[in-house]
Amino acid sequence: MVLTTIGSPLEFEERPDPVPGAGQIRVRVEACGVCRTDLHVVDGELPDPKLPLVPGHEIVGIVEALGEGVDAPALGTRVGVPWLGHTDGTCPYCRSGRENLCDAPEFTGYTRDGGYATHVIADAGFAFPLDGFDDPVATAPLMCAGLIGLRSLRRAGDGGRVGLYGFGAAAHILAQVLRWQGREVFAFTRAGDDRSQQMALSLGAAWAGASEDMPPSQLDAAIIFAPVGALVPLALKAVRKGGRVVCGGIHMSDIPQFPYELLWEEREILSVANLTREDGREFLKVAREAGVKTTTTTYPLAHANEALDDLRNGRFQGAAVLVP
């Protein structure tokens, strides 16, 4: 499913199977999650995507061909292909353990073709082995919503009371990790979104309410997954002195002006960009130990436009997953 023009629907296209170059693998896609970032790409909210482009960066599949010089992952094994597709390995960020901030990165489904397809090419060193993850559909949302969620959580610190603004794919995974870690979850959704609030409570949230509501007790940290800048001052209001507000998305509407007193008393606002491979390995370990279970709605690959539309309009709970 190919994006040829920003703002237009994806088009179904038949192509020959891609051939992996040196250091690359070809993966037969079993499932690909639909991430909010894909919406930002097709809507033109992120600059300079490769065009034409196959979107999708929550890919689970089977290694089907190895390029020159690749000896792992092995043929026939299941791997995950995430957003971070390639780094230069030489810039100051890569050399200081922050490859998520690489100066010359490539991103799956943005600057290179992704997983809204039957096959995808990936750099062998950037695919995660998925031994023990037997359900490709259930695993696909972990590849971005999960591991960027965990990176957001690390930025939030280890306080016991964590607010999650926007209870979609990332929050429904992170809530399970937080409960497993023994922390309290406070879920904030659009006013009147009873289904998302119910889902949060069913996953062990201590409280669920509207984003404009104040939680019953002050939060140690808040993570904002909804791409809505107006949530930043609301979240600042809900965190205690010295608390943190983490913006977990790649794009957000403008943050409105707010009084300095909301930030004062050493409250902090942070953002999260991309992932490191270390994040991925750590998250997959946590997901397995915590027994994270995803809620998914599947769509046939050719219905990718419908899945994007349903995400845009909040028509499902949890995560959408495309199946070729």
Residues forming contacts to Zn ion in the complex (CB under 5 A) are 35, 37, 87-88, 91, 94, 102, 144
When the beta carbons of 234 and 321 are compared against Zn ion, the nearer one is 321
Q: Which of 201, 190, 274 is nearest to 226 (CA)?
A: 190
Nearer to Zn ion, 40 or 183 (CB): 40
Smallest gap, in angstroms, from Cβ of residue 222 to Zn ion?
A: 20
The DSSP result for 94-156, as a single string, is: HHTT-GGG-SS-EEBTTTB--SSSSEEEEEGGGPEE-TT---HHHHGGGGTHHHHHHHHHHHH
The number of residues in the chain equals: 324
In the bound complex, what is the minimum distance in angstroms from residue 83's beta carbon to Zn ion?
5
**Cβ burial, residue 88 (10 Å; 0-12/13-18/19+):** middle
- Beta carbon nearer to Zn ion, 89 or 204: 89
Q: How far is the CB of 173 from Zn ion (least distance, A)?
A: 12
**What distance in Å separates the CA atoms of residue 231 and residue 227, rounded to the nearest whole number?**
9
What backbone torsions phi and psi does residue 147 show, to the nearest 5 degrees? -80, -25
Least separation, in Å, of the C-beta of 259 and Zn ion? 33
Shortest separation between residue 99's beta carbon and Zn ion, angstroms? 6
Complex with Zn ion: residue 106 or 268, whichever CB lies closer: 106
Measured from the CB atom, is 66 or 321 closer to Zn ion?
Answer: 321
Burial class (CB in 10 A: 0-12, 13-18, 19+), 263: middle
